[in-house]
Amino acid sequence: MSRSLFSRLFNAKKLAYFCTLVVVVGIMVVCDNNGTKPNDGGGDSDIETSGTVTSVNRFVAEPAQNVGADKITQSFTYDGYDFYYIPLGVLRNALMYSHPAQHHNGMNSIYRISVTEQIRNSTTEVVTNSHQRAIHIVDEYTWSQNNNFSANQEISARFPIKFISVGVKATAEQSWNSHTSNSTVTNIKEITSSTSTITRISEYARTDMMERGWRFTEKHPQGYYRYTLFGDFEVYLYLIKHPTGEIHYEFKEELRENSLRWRLDFCDNEDAPFEKNNETRFEFDDSILDNLPKPEVVLTPPVKKIITEEFTTTGNHTYTLPTNITFPATIEIYALGAGGGGQGGHGYRPCRRNLVNVCTYPDGTQVLAAAAEVAQQLTSDIMCRELLVLISA
């Protein structure tokens, strides 16, 4: 091999080695220990140089000051059941929504928040889990003033516990909310369902989240960092006394207006990351259980009105509502077969299922639309000739 040819091959190898070295070094320069691009002055303008980040004082219980029977701010009777709304106080810095946490090990790193359609679509699930966690903390940190037991232990020890049906509770709360909206009394308010609260928080988190990032160095404490949506709840003990004396109870919450805010949180506890980090708790004056006052407000269950429509042909069918129906109304639709109970009448024998649909609608148009939809479901059932509609208005 000539010296000239050997020299050219040697130079080619050096060039290939140099190019490989440039690529490797380039990757090392572009990526820090988290695989993200640091701010070199020419890009990542959204990255903030993080200052001092401290742990948020999470799930702080601020007990209400009123005691005894004065704690019962609103109560009512519905269909023989007595309902009591007892304020416990305010739960501050309750976790509402959080982005995934990142561990900082003392090396230069960037914590970056990405917002994708998948993340937005998962908001409700994250908020639901966070809401359940907040209610669990309220249950765990609500104690009797007199006996130093938890509220659930005290109530369970003094009263037989009995669950109330979802239907009775829902219609009772609807009646109460209708009463409060028409009342001139200023110190009562509607009962907000957990579903409404979760929907409200989810919508805020979904629309308000944005992409951003923080740079951490060896000067920042080692531990976990997490971008979190916090808020404050007004917390209540919700007692329902059955006509036979049993008690149903649960903890309810009301999101405080303008209390939602984003914070960069820090936690160095690997065993209990981002848990409640204080000993605050609510206090329940259990003396009121001995003599629960009879509510002054008595609400009467609505009278159900019955409409019957007959189907003799397949296809979509509707029915006509009576003119004296007021909305919102609850509609229950039943499919009936012929010859129920051996009496030659229609009876309540279902073709496929008895109760086809139960919904609450704000106006008559949606009720009619629902009837048409249900009727379409029945067209394949030859024996289904009638539709029984029970309307609670």
Q: Where does the pLDDT of residue 133 fall: very low under 50, low under 70, confident under 90, or very high at 90 and above?
A: very high
Domain ranges of the chain: 3-44, 48-299, 304-392
Question: What pLDDT digit, counting tens, does each position of 37-94 carry?
Answer: 333 333 455 576 667 888 999 999 999 886 556 678 889 999 899 999 989 999 999 9
Contacts of 325 (CB under 8 A, 6+ apart): 305, 364, 391, 393
Question: What pLDDT digit, counting tens, does each position of 290-326 carry?
Answer: 788 899 999 988 666 555 555 555 555 555 555 555 5
Q: What's the mean pLDDT when you consider all of the chain?
A: 73
Report which DSSP code applies to 161: B
pTM (whole model) above 0.95 = no
Is residue 200 pLDDT above 60, yes or no? yes
Cα dihedral sign, 302-162-188-199: negative
Contacts of 362 (CB under 8 A, 6+ apart): 327, 328
Greater model confidence, 366 or 229: 229
